[in-house]
Structure 1
Amino acid sequence: MRVSEGLRRADRFVAQQAGSRIPARAGRVLSAVEEAAESSKLWCAAAAAMAVSGGWQGRKAAATGLAALAVAQLVSNGLGKRLTDRPRPPKEWFPHDETDDRPDSSSFPSGHTAAAVAFTAAVAPAWPAAGAACAVPAAMVAVERVQSGAHYPSDVAAGAAVGLLTARLARHAPHLLWRRGP
């Protein structure tokens, strides 16, 4: 069996299991968190709360998180989805009607996951307590994207990788710029 065939089988298996095994009540909670994260509303609200209540540390965490989120959105939605044309998982795999709500864009990579992971991974080093608080809804967004039928698990994994890389870039870009100097 080729690697790509194995990945397709794993994607199908995990997506179908997530879509059918997560209890309806948990699915509604996941959907509510994902809806709050839509258009980065949740992360912008978290950044505002950090900036207001966290002093210098909170402002630094918020700024770094928002920078990482913006770059992750550009990479995942502006570049990744345009370079790939992967269809969403088949609606028949999911025994619920959440698949009626999903976007028409390419499935690869998950922009929601990229944004959630980027924000959280950029905030955590600057303010570990805030990063830990953001990790829970970020993980919930990632799980919801598979459970709802919007993405394959590999789309979510790729989105998480984009998020981690852009968070690293956002954290280290100021240091790189200072080193170069005039």
Structure 2
Amino acid sequence: MLTERVASRIPLRVGKALSAVEESAEGTKLWCGAAAAMACVGGWRGQRAAATGLAALAMAQLISNGLCKQLNDRPRPPKEWFPHDEADDCPDSSSFPSGHTAAAVAFTAAVAPAWPAAGAACAVPAVMVSFGRVQSGAHYPSDVAAGAAIGLASAWLTRRALHMIARHWLSS
């Protein structure tokens, strides 16, 4: 099975790094910290990027955790597939989709057009969070792929909505 192969082929040091980044993303701490840093050091551009990123993240969380997980009851991958004890700490909620991935991708994809350098910096931990969700035993690769799709859609919808609001506000 793909999930088992991915988890068993990740070197121990890489797995520890993925776990550390994944832990920092719990409760969206990583993305809120990144938004605060952008808003403080990035001036108007940083504030706009931070606000857009947080709005997209909120939408992704609402869609993935508030809607999709409630409609799906997919069990987490079996613990015996993983050569470590991280799988013992998996939540009881549905595996599908990955809310961590949805939040990471939404934040990053919304920030990137507003401030490309910050978006590129956020892409590294976003990818690490996504791989970490499979490596830790919390998700199947398809859960992560669905989370990424939700994140991209949330970023696009957020940026589109903000553009429409700004255009309406400027025309009034």
User: Where on the TM-score scale, by shorter chain, does this alignment land: which range?
Assistant: over 0.9
AA aligned to 2:49 is A
Residue 28 of structure 2 is aligned to residue 40 of structure 1? yes
Q: Pick the aligned partner of 1:162 from 138, 150, 154.
A: 150
Name segments (4+ residues, structure 1) moved above 4 Å.
178-182
| Corresponding position of 2:114 | 126
Mapped to 2, the partners of 1:56 and 1:176 lie a distance apart of 19
**Whole-angstrom CA distance in 1 between matches of 2:111 and 2:103:** 12
Name the counterpart of 2:102: 114
Task: Find the aligned partners of 2:108 and 2:168 in 1 and give their Cα distance.
Answer: 28
The residue identity in structure 2 corresponding to 1:104 is D
Residues 1:149 and 2:130 aligned together: no
What's the CA shift for 1:176?
Answer: 2.0
SS at match of 2:93: coil
SS of aligned partner of 1:175:
helix
From 24, 27, 40, the equivalent of 1:52 is 40
Alignment correspondent of 1:28: 16
Distance 1:34 1:110 in 2: 12
Q: Give the distance between the partners of 2:103 and 2:143, measured in 1 at CA.
A: 13
What percent identity do the matched residue pairs reach?
A: 74
Once the two structures are TM-superposed, the CA of residue 54 in structure 1 deviates from its matched residue by 0.2
Match for 2:50 among 29, 43, 62?
62
Q: What secondary structure does 2:25 align onto?
A: helix
Q: TM-score, normalised by structure 2?
A: 0.96
CA deviations on 1:88-115 (whole Å, 9 max, x unpaired) are 0111111111100110000000000000
Unaligned runs of 5+ in 1: 1-12
Unmatched tracts of structure 2, length 5 or more? none
For residues 15 and 147 of structure 1, the distance between their equivalents in structure 2, rounded to whole angstroms, comes to 8
The alpha-carbon deviation at position 177 of structure 1 amounts to 2.9
For 1:130 and 1:179, locate their aligned partners in 2 and report how far apart those are by CA, in whole Å.
Answer: 25
Q: How many equivalent residue pairs? A: 170
Distance, in Å, in 2 between the alignment partners of 1:177 and 1:54 is 23
Aligned to 1:10: none
| Correspondence 1:171 to 2:159 | yes
Aligned equivalents of 2:51, 2:60: Cα separation in 1: 14
Residue matched to 1:3: none
* Counterpart residue identity of residue 152, structure 2: L
